[in-house]
Structure 1
Amino acid sequence: MGLHLAWNNEQNEHPVSEELIATLEVILQKAGEAEGVEDGEVALTFVDDKQIHELNLEYRGIDRPTDVLSFAMNESLDEELDIVYELEEDEELHDMPEVLGDIIISLDRAKAQSEEYGHSVEREIGFLFVHGFLHLLGYDHQDAESEAEMMGKQEAVLAQVGLTR
């Protein structure tokens, strides 16, 4: 089965190239290999600052745009578990990849940050994508030690696909 990227573009300001999507698919494979995650689907949505601002306020209570949001699917409710058990009796479920979660990236923020940091927009989007993927797997950066660990993992994956600073 392998890792699968399902992507969606909900903004009109910045074009999303096939090359970028191909790069993100490679990043997903490399990050998955590094973390021992072989199967699953990651849903990626590109939005603008207005949309991510609304989501950030609704889900995190933070009233400003951000660059990336991650919503892991493993944070489920008991009722959802009951539904999963019923579905497991259905043969088709075994052919469907497990959804690891959603990553939402503001292309407005990615473009602004790439200019601020002096590297390509592709590098910034790749960084935000692998950052979001690590969040889906449960990584966090609440203290300097965990932030350093996450940063090291992100840079290692980006180096493999040639997206260095």
Structure 2
Amino acid sequence: MKIIIQNQQDKYQIDESISKIIEDSVLNTLKIFMDDENYEISVMIVDNQFIKELNKHYRSIDKETDVLSFPIFEFKNGELQEDIAIVEEEIPLGDIVISIEKAYEQAKEFGHSVEREIAYLTVHSVLHLLGFDHIEEEDRMLMRKYEEMVLEGMGLTR
């Protein structure tokens, strides 16, 4: 498993503990759905302005958001929907962009730790890479079930 974490902002320090939370969140989410560890995910840490620009460019929504997911392959609820060639290198699943600024804001708003918020955003985004969505209520409930399962397993409850 290859998890690439890039800090593209300077408002908050991203120390080893934040990186570890992101890595653990990715690994604990993927192990529910993946049989092996031959995957790669890129995580970019940005500020609100940067994610706002991405949100406007890719989703035509001109406001900041907490996290964006850019999947490479088509999944549906954790199941790959297309054939991919088996290679010796890691298979890239996609990119995650987290606004650390928004994570701090939401942690304060929801009354829990920044660590829990970052873990939640990471798990949420990995689930999007795996084809989960929350547009329909049934899908939202399924996604929430997996989010809570991973967070509880990490000891990060509300």
Q: Distance in 2 between matches of 1:44 and 1:37?
A: 22
Does residue 1:162 correspond to 2:149, yes or no?
A: no
Q: Distance in 1 between matches of 2:152 and 2:15?
A: 21
Structure 2 length normalisation: TM-score?
0.88
Count, aligned residues: 148
Corresponding residue of 2:90: 97
Does residue 1:4 correspond to 2:6, yes or no?
A: no
Report if aligned partners of 2:21, 2:118 keep a CA contact under 8 Å in 1.
no
Report if aligned partners of 1:4, 1:25 keep a CA contact under 8 Å in 2.
no
Q: CA deviation at 1:94?
A: 3.4
Structure 2: which 5+ residue stretches go unaligned?
75-83
Q: 2:135 aligns with which of 128, 142, 147?
A: 142
CA deviations on 1:79-104 (whole Å, 9 max, x unpaired) are xxxxxx9xx8xxxx933201000000
Q: Distance in 2 between matches of 1:152 and 1:67?
A: 20
Structure 1: which 5+ residue stretches go unaligned?
76-84
Once superposed, which parts of structure 1, at least 4 consecutive aligned residues long, lie more than 2 Å away?
36-39
Corresponding residue of 1:82: none
Structure 1 length normalisation: TM-score?
0.85
Report if aligned partners of 1:23, 1:161 keep a CA contact under 8 Å in 2.
no
Between the aligned residues of both structures, percent identity stands at: 39
Which amino acid in the other structure matches residue 72 of structure 1? Answer: P
The structure with more helix, counted as a fraction of residues: 1
Paired residue secondary structure (1:69) = strand
Q: Distance in 1 between matches of 2:147 and 2:35?
A: 15
Does residue 1:53 correspond to 2:52, yes or no?
A: yes
Larger-Rg structure? 1
Q: CA deviation at 1:74?
A: 1.4
Corresponding residue of 1:114: 107
